[in-house]
A and B are shown apart, each in its own frame.
Chain A
Amino acid sequence: NAGVTQTPKFRILKIGQSMTLQCTQDMNHNYMYWYRQDPGMGLKLIYYSVGAGITDKGEVPNGYNVSRSTTEDFPLRLELAAPSQTSVYFCASSYSSTAVNTEQYFGPGTRLTVT
């Protein structure tokens, strides 16, 4: 299994541009997550999904959109990029029931710079 894969690894955007960060998992996990990591600030949840067709906002969703059309894929869309979106973005997945948290598997991250 490849686990959780993310593309691209690095990207530089100009202010106002848009892009999609790709995330794919091959573990048949039902839950998928997008986090951003800023220096010294830990991981902040942007959006998550409990299964295909279902998404929900996390702590910092403004400026982002997601979709979950398949179990495997969970792309994150940035519209009108702003310097405040400069960060490292991590995708994660887990196999969880409705009542129990379990281990999250993280991808290698995408380092995004908006200038």
Chain B
Amino acid sequence: GENVEQHPSTLSVQEGDSAVIKCTYSDSASNYFPWYKQELGKGPQLIIDIRSNVGEKKDQRIAVTLNKTAKHFSLHITETQPEDSAVYFCAAPFSGNTPLVFGKGTRLSVIA
């Protein structure tokens, strides 16, 4: 089945700096790569996703890049703010519309 590895497990950045979180996946048939943000005491919420026919997608301060050859995708947050502090999860399906497999998460702390 699919295996999703996420790094780093914790990340601390100064307010205004950029943060990058990376994930690798094992199955070349995977075609959908979402990123979820989980704030303390809440359920995860989708912040951005990318499909396999696109190499990069941006939404204001957030971007996701996909390298299908290397089978990895990354979340980029620019101009970080204290409210970006949360746990971030990447995910990928085994293939097609099979259920998502989630990474173990990255705890991001933005220091004011």
Q: Interface-forming stretch among A12-20, A67-75, A90-98?
A: A90-98
Q: Are B43 and A42 in contact (CB under 8 A)?
A: no
Q: Are A48 and B99 in contact (CB under 8 A)?
A: yes
Q: What is the 8 Å Cβ interface bit string for chain A, positions 95-115, against chain B (1 contact, 0 not)?
A: 011111101101111000000
| Chain B residues whose C-beta falls within 8 Å of the C-beta of A4 in the assembled complex | 43
Q: B104 — nearest CB in chain A belongs to which residue?
A: A42
Q: Quick one: which of A92, A99, A104, A107 has the most chain B CB within 10 A?
A: A104
Q: A103 — nearest CB in chain B belongs to which residue?
A: B46
B31, B41, B89: the one contacting A42 at CB < 8 Å is: B89
A40 interfacial by beta-carbon distance below 8 Å: yes
Q: Are B49 and A106 in contact (CB under 8 A)?
A: no
| Chain B residues whose C-beta falls within 8 Å of the C-beta of A103 in the assembled complex | 34, 46, 49
* A interface residues, how many (CB within 8 angstroms): 25
A42 CB, nearest partner CB in chain B, Å? 4
A80 interfacial by beta-carbon distance below 8 Å: no
B2 CB, nearest partner CB in chain A, Å? 10
A98, A99, A106: the one contacting B45 at CB < 8 Å is: A106
Q: What's the Cα separation between A51 and B104 when bound, in Å?
A: 28
Q: What's the Cα separation between A98 and B44 when bound, in Å?
A: 24
Q: Check A104/B100 contact, CB under 8 A, given A43-B89, A90-B43.
A: yes
B62 CB, nearest partner CB in chain A, Å? 15
Q: What is the 8 Å Cβ interface bit string for chain A, positions 38-60, against chain B (1 contact, 0 not)?
A: 00111111001000000000110
Other 4 A-B pairs with CB < 8 A, given A90-B43, A101-B100, A106-B44? A48-B99, A101-B32, A108-B42, A109-B42
Which positions in B face A, CB cutoff 8 Å?
6, 9, 31-32, 34, 41-46, 49, 89, 93, 96-97, 99-105
10 nearest interchain CB pairs? A106-B43, A101-B32, A42-B104, A43-B102, A42-B102, A103-B46, A106-B44, A42-B105, A45-B99, A90-B43
Provide a sorted-by-A list of 26 A–B residue pairs whose CB atoms are within 8 angstroms.
A4-B43, A41-B104, A42-B89, A42-B102, A42-B104, A43-B89, A43-B102, A58-B99, A59-B101, A90-B44, A96-B97, A97-B97, A99-B96, A101-B32, A101-B93, A101-B96, A101-B100, A103-B34, A104-B100, A106-B43, A106-B44, A106-B45, A107-B43, A108-B41, A108-B42, A109-B41
